[in-house]
Amino acid sequence: MSMTVIWMIIAMGVVTYIPRLLPLVMLKTDNWPAWARRMLTRVPYAVLGALILPGILTVHDNIWFATVSGGAAVLLAYIGMPLIVVVGGAIGMLGIMQLLF
């Protein structure tokens, strides 16, 4: 592998890392209003819905598998479970559905 390719890979890694690091460094939420902080706590669930919903509907031949698994994720998110629990619950429900049917 040539040095040019190695430097290109390093540069792409830095360029990818900067937009992820800047919000953590630049935005201090200590002096934000309470409503803005509450709104930002809900962003992971909104992003999860936007990114995962198309995949949920195409994951299996039977639409009921996707519907029940997606419903489990919505229910877990609604009752305020952490994001990892929501994702794990949906995956677990899909696994249970595949074992049973």
Q: Decide if pLDDT at 85 tops 90.
A: yes
Average pLDDT, the chain: 84
Q: Provide the 10 A C-beta neighbour count for residue 87.
A: 16
Map out the domains of the chain as residue ranges: 3-100
Q: Decide if pLDDT at 29 tops 70.
A: no
Of 50, 83, 55, 84, the residue nearest 69 (C-alpha): 55
HSE-up of 69 (CA within 13 Å, CB side)? 26
Q: Decide if pLDDT at 15 tops 90.
A: yes
pLDDT 10s digits, 35-60: 887 887 777 777 777 777 787 777 66
Say what the pLDDT of residue 75 is.
94
